[in-house]
Structure 1
């Protein structure tokens, strides 16, 4: 740091007294083969002293070793600067390093200004522009958010970052500046989460990444928060199923890619992919049935636990995930404890729902004939007053959440509880979800090792998840009800059968379509499901230096489901005997995932060049098992047990399962030039067990991209066009074969 002669004179006058203070301050240090800068930083961390020096004068990258047990700061400085022309002076709690040639007096009034820039959550911001107002002096922050530049007392620093409000700070003295930037909601965030959970500057990406904050997905509560992304992400189509409240959603990015395969996006939570539960998807086993499931892997997550969502909609963006991400990726970053504060959050969100638009029905002409669904008969004397809207009820969704966040600089803890209780607009379409989340992040080994442990539990109970189809769907007979007939008579949907001594269904219309009374479907055909999901995740990150680290992650994701079907006596005999029908299936799905990743992020040549590189490998094992038993009841009406199932029927039992293995190696590299131009390269090779029996053993997925910020390269920024970027990319992705597709098998048939 350059300071004036007057300040140096004051230093000399105070030197003897302050040397005495320095000698009384003890900071024992033992460090081998480290830079001078690291030792100076260590002294600043463990004492009240702050160093000031000129980077060009002090060789801060010079490697030295220190073993000082006395802890006297001046003795430590004698050791590290032995044999050099560096001298030091002490003023209060400031230590000024200089040379014997008095190089400090080069630019009168100039001081070295250091600082760190962070966001509101305490995380460092990379690539922030720090500029002396009305001058050409400026710099950008490094990977830890630190910056350093020359300025004069009274100068104003402008701190700007895309996605954050610009902040100005006046230079008062040479103390370290701690600057906190707040998000600007009118612009996009500068740092986004990309593949493998890696944070990058948005302007550096050669592909499309869109980020959505927690506020956007919790503003209006939905039993499945994925539906709240609708209309917020360009190029993404979100189709919520007709299964009712809590039903799954299909996320399709940039159009359908497969005619008969899975087109849904891959969900990734904190860098780890979630298992694909397509085998337990929302589609019923029979295309005519209407019994759906909330089977997508993300629907059981508590939306209050989510920090942000990044959508990687292009193949280049998702190339590091290989075949699993051929349809794009939805990256979810969850919350963790905050350092230095304890906070408790309690929230409630209650919403009501009702049908917005219903089909228009003609009410002028009556039935074609008695018992028919067709209404091509004579013109009615009085137009029909039938309105199917009367069948629906007001839906209610009540979401409660409570969370605790606490932590120190060494340990942060996050705990949350959540409940969702919802009733759909169709009676008996009910959904309940209970969530528990615990996460702890701890630092050890002098902050070089970071351990992140989390556990999530989700318990879901759902009933009558009505889906598209003909059977068991109350909307089909409701909409086909013939105009001119009296709907009130079928509202009394059950009549007493004196011969059987029980209530049976009343539906005086044609059975050719196997339709039933809509009220009977909702009240006497019960399809409950119960799901328990456990997700345990562990990760460890070791920092070899501030620019290189290795990360290991592991996850166990287990899902247990119980599905039942209970049709009361009186149900159409196409589906049940005169006593009823009962079936039960148990489904177990487990994913074991492991990953090892080396990360590099370093600036070179006075922050002119930046290299971000990642190399790693992962494995994934998926086990799926389904057991089914059920059939028509044989003797006792409405006794739903296995013992009451008629075993003379065919197809009573079924077993299905598979064990899927995936192995992969991957890598990526990005080179940036002056934060204006970037070159991206990624590569991944997958080995999947579904290739067994084929001539193909693996697939290779490369991508390359180039992007440039035109307004920065040509300095052509204007008020009309303050920011312009051009990017081009090429990638190759694909899907691995479905399970058993490469080795076809044939079902066993009785008597063959």
Structure 2
């Protein structure tokens, strides 16, 4: 075979990439490599013995060079007047490029850069140096009279060789046949955000990130490609191959993230089965790469403010007239004297807003913007991270720590959030064929907030009458002021402490080096939390001589704890090989099992003896105690078969046979298949005349079926409620047990099918990139309340697979990347434009009588 064929086979079957000088290494020369099941090193040794080449490894790169033995041409070159030239090779960010080839153009003289990017060689004064490195554009510089050079390499914007993480593996970006979006660490760096979800906003088309309450500990909600199911449906989150959830993703230290892949269509996500019906977010964390110890510290300080505020009418006279108009003809809220006072105050804002009625109570004619009164102008947050990483011959290590603080936006009784992150990632190379790894993280957070903060507070802030004022002339709370601001400021606190410990052990056996490997994972994710809260009465006054009244008259204290364990086991085998130069096959098969256990305990008691030390032990009133337990399990087998012919025609099939404990035994298993095809049109001979303008053009399509089991753990079991009745019999409240509800006999999976067609196209030396997709997702047999039954049955209708939903959408992503010099220094910039849309329709609902309450 030729050297070019050998290089191509090694790069396709392994993670290694070759680096060499084309003027020095003749890739069309014939080489001899014999034997089966040999390692890459053994094959390279054969090449070196039968040619004039030498090699050495630099991390994931193989450096090929001509043998250093002097030849007549080399002697001739050295006989010219040469001098010592030193320099450094860096990227556009100023980071050292390790292992770059630096060659004296037209000769065989060359070196590679060290771990600091430095090089030294002998070169003629009139020589030019050619610098090359995988993933970067070649650079040629003239030596001239310079003795010290600084070479800046630009990243190759084509990026088609970029590796993208997919389910249980990786693929080259050029070989993807499904709809996959990718976010690199660079896109997340330097964003002054407190959660990973916020950092993902605007990075991937149709990845919808929606802020929630705005509280200091609030996590954004994530959705892929629009409305999913009547039961909701969030994307599955997988961190380093381990199934997780959006809360754990948002609590991550974003500086730990290497890349994020977003699997949008069924063809990409089917390998994760039942929980991947509405997309998958795959997160890969960083690991040690450089042989030199690397220490990084980052911080940011940020202020956030409310951006869009409601426009509130606050003129007293206008408000009084509107209220009287709306109450006519039943009654008038304000009499003539009060209307006149309101008009007077509108005309002269210095007039007191307090109007004392004959009954000794106040009427208020203020102009209060309660949103402005309740919130601060800005909230502060800060984030600090530090990491250490490196590699040795037997160990790659990465350690990180982080701290985040966020101050809330409340003017009264503010909320504060602290988060602490630790991560350890170790990869031990036991032998050439056995690797053992551990990935452990610990996240602890505490949140201190007003007890009243929540939906009721947000409702009151936006609904309270602008005529009301927060305080009376003597500084006491008004009724409205006490209800909104007093409860927040004085009505008690609610504190939460959460801990999340996750550890993952991975072992990998390379049965046939770079061809067949077996990998196993065991992971444990333990969460525990404690919530302590108390509620205190808040006094308010409605007149100067009127007795105090109270909001939340009865004081109380509560405590809640929970602990959950999520255990995961999986093992899979992966085979990949090139045949006859143009054929590539990747086959993977595996087994997965998960178990989840949860238990919680809650207690509360009313009538606290002391408001200064609120606790359950100091309560003297009614006590409530509750407990909750839940467990479920999943089991599945999965496979992937991928075939590529000549890097032009791509076919992939994925499938998973999944079982869940959430359904009856006879309906617990489902098969989720998918398939995708892609055609790289730009590789065709007939496309050659267009390649100067259109550098890459690929068409792809996919279709797949998935099952959704995102329902309650015991939806298929009839349950009976219990408690105490409200009546007292013989001085006691008897215990009751309710009648069991109805359960549908055929309760089973929701079925989701997705069809997707996409196109990827690059222009102008790959500086302009475009990607577009259209899709349709059908969700059938959604679990919802069945048709209304006669009330004489005596219980509510059971959940049934009774509704269908259709979602259609499209998405477009345009990108432009380029660089130029500013004052002799490189200036890089990139612009992305994302536009997407989705619409959903209910196509079936079991409501034959058209009952309005059933919608």
| Equivalent of residue 724 in structure 1, options 697, 700, 714 | 697
For residues 668-715 of structure 1, what are the alpha-carbon distances to aligned partners after superposition, in whole Å with 9 as ceiling and x for unaligned? Answer: 011111111100000101111112x35313011100000011122242
Give 1:89 shift.
Answer: 9.3
Please give the alpha-carbon distance, in whole angstroms, between the structure 2 residues aligned to 1:548 and 1:325: 27
Structure 1 residues 558 and 182: alpha-carbon distance in aligned structure 2, compared to 1, 3 A threshold: farther
| Equivalent of residue 162 in structure 2, options 182, 191, 197 | 191
Are the aligned partners of 2:469 and 2:478 in contact in 1 as well (CA < 8 Å)? no
Please give the alpha-carbon distance, in whole angstroms, between the structure 1 residues aligned to 2:96 and 2:525: 29
Are the aligned partners of 1:584 and 1:629 in contact in 2 as well (CA < 8 Å)? yes
1:524 maps to: 491
| Equivalent of residue 451 in structure 1, options 414, 436, 439 | 436
For residues 511-566 of structure 1, what are the alpha-carbon distances to aligned partners after superposition, in whole Å with 9 as ceiling and x for unaligned? Answer: xxxx8132431443312110011011111112121222111111111000011221
Please give the alpha-carbon distance, in whole angstroms, between the structure 2 residues aligned to 1:520 and 1:64: 74
1:653 maps to: 625
- Residue 381, structure 1, aligned to residue 381, structure 2: no
Please give the alpha-carbon distance, in whole angstroms, between the structure 2 residues aligned to 1:550 and 1:122: 33
- Residue 460, structure 1, aligned to residue 428, structure 2: no
Are the aligned partners of 1:623 and 1:659 in contact in 2 as well (CA < 8 Å)? yes
Please give the alpha-carbon distance, in whole angstroms, between the structure 2 residues aligned to 1:490 and 1:183: 69
1:266 maps to: 236
Q: What are the ranges of 5 or more consecutive residues in structure 1 without an aligned counterpart?
A: 4-36, 38-50, 66-75, 97-118, 126-132, 134-153, 171-179, 277-294, 496-505
TM-score by length of 1: 0.69
Are the aligned partners of 1:346 and 1:403 in contact in 2 as well (CA < 8 Å)? yes
Are the aligned partners of 2:606 and 2:622 in contact in 1 as well (CA < 8 Å)? no
Give 1:595 shift.
Answer: 1.1
2:672 maps to: 701
Give 1:320 shift.
Answer: 0.7
Give 1:318 shift.
Answer: 1.0
Structure 1 residues 185 and 460: alpha-carbon distance in aligned structure 2, compared to 1, 3 A threshold: farther
Please give the alpha-carbon distance, in whole angstroms, between the structure 1 residues aligned to 2:675 and 2:550: 56
TM-score by length of 2: 0.62
1:594 maps to: 569
Are the aligned partners of 1:507 and 1:517 in contact in 2 as well (CA < 8 Å)? no
Give 1:193 shift.
Answer: 3.3
Are the aligned partners of 1:582 and 1:641 in contact in 2 as well (CA < 8 Å)? yes
Please give the alpha-carbon distance, in whole angstroms, between the structure 2 residues aligned to 1:557 and 1:155: 57
| Equivalent of residue 419 in structure 1, options 403, 419, 436 | 403
- Residue 310, structure 1, aligned to residue 294, structure 2: no
1:508 maps to: 479
Give 1:629 shift.
Answer: 0.8
Structure 1 residues 310 and 630: alpha-carbon distance in aligned structure 2, compared to 1, 3 A threshold: same
1:215 maps to: 186
Structure 1 residues 344 and 57: alpha-carbon distance in aligned structure 2, compared to 1, 3 A threshold: closer
| Equivalent of residue 582 in structure 1, options 548, 554, 557 | 557
| Equivalent of residue 509 in structure 2, options 542, 545, 551 | 542
SS in 1 for 2:524: strand
1:141 maps to: none
Are the aligned partners of 2:452 and 2:491 in contact in 1 as well (CA < 8 Å)? no
SS in 1 for 2:177: coil
Please give the alpha-carbon distance, in whole angstroms, between the structure 2 residues aligned to 1:699 and 1:123: 49
Are the aligned partners of 2:451 and 2:492 in contact in 1 as well (CA < 8 Å)? no
Please give the alpha-carbon distance, in whole angstroms, between the structure 1 residues aligned to 2:670 and 2:474: 59
Q: Which moved more, 1:213-222 or 1:336-345?
A: 213-222
SS in 2 for 1:690: coil
SS in 2 for 1:722: strand
Higher strand share: 2
1:748 maps to: 722
Give 1:454 shift.
Answer: 1.7
Once the two structures are superposed, the pairs formed by residues 436-447 of structure 1 within 5 Å of their partners are 436-445=422-431, 447=432
Please give the alpha-carbon distance, in whole angstroms, between the structure 2 residues aligned to 1:689 and 1:574: 53
Please give the alpha-carbon distance, in whole angstroms, between the structure 1 residues aligned to 2:510 and 2:157: 35
SS in 2 for 1:318: helix
1:43 maps to: none
Q: What are the ranges of 5 or more consecutive residues in structure 2 without an aligned counterpart?
A: 4-9, 11-23, 39-44, 55-64, 70-90, 101-105, 107-126, 142-150, 328-332, 350-365, 541-547, 725-734, 737-855
Once the two structures are superposed, the pairs formed by residues 73-472 of structure 1 within 5 Å of their partners are 94=67, 164-167=135-138, 184=155, 190-261=161-232, 263-274=233-244, 276=245, 296-366=247-317, 368=320, 378=339, 379=343, 380-382=346-348, 386-387=368-369, 388-393=371-376, 394-426=378-410, 427-445=413-431, 447-464=432-449, 470-471=455-456
Give 1:223 shift.
Answer: 1.9
Once the two structures are superposed, the pairs formed by residues 594-633 of structure 1 within 5 Å of their partners are 594-606=569-581, 608-633=582-607
Please give the alpha-carbon distance, in whole angstroms, between the structure 2 residues aligned to 1:597 and 1:221: 39
Please give the alpha-carbon distance, in whole angstroms, between the structure 1 residues aligned to 2:503 and 2:549: 45
For residues 586-638 of structure 1, what are the alpha-carbon distances to aligned partners after superposition, in whole Å with 9 as ceiling and x for unaligned? Answer: 011111111111112212212x1111221111111111111111132354335
Structure 1 residues 63 and 476: alpha-carbon distance in aligned structure 2, compared to 1, 3 A threshold: closer
Superposition CA RMSD, Å: 4.3
Give 1:87 shift.
Answer: 8.3
Q: Which moved more, 1:306-315 or 1:568-577?
A: 568-577
Give 1:239 shift.
Answer: 1.1
Structure 1 residues 458 and 365: alpha-carbon distance in aligned structure 2, compared to 1, 3 A threshold: same
For residues 424-467 of structure 1, what are the alpha-carbon distances to aligned partners after superposition, in whole Å with 9 as ceiling and x for unaligned? Answer: 1125221100111111112121x221222121111000122899
SS in 2 for 1:431: strand
Please give the alpha-carbon distance, in whole angstroms, between the structure 2 residues aligned to 1:160 and 1:726: 30
Are the aligned partners of 2:162 and 2:172 in contact in 1 as well (CA < 8 Å)? yes
Please give the alpha-carbon distance, in whole angstroms, between the structure 2 residues aligned to 1:542 and 1:725: 35
Please give the alpha-carbon distance, in whole angstroms, between the structure 2 residues aligned to 1:583 and 1:431: 20
| Equivalent of residue 688 in structure 1, options 655, 660, 684 | 660
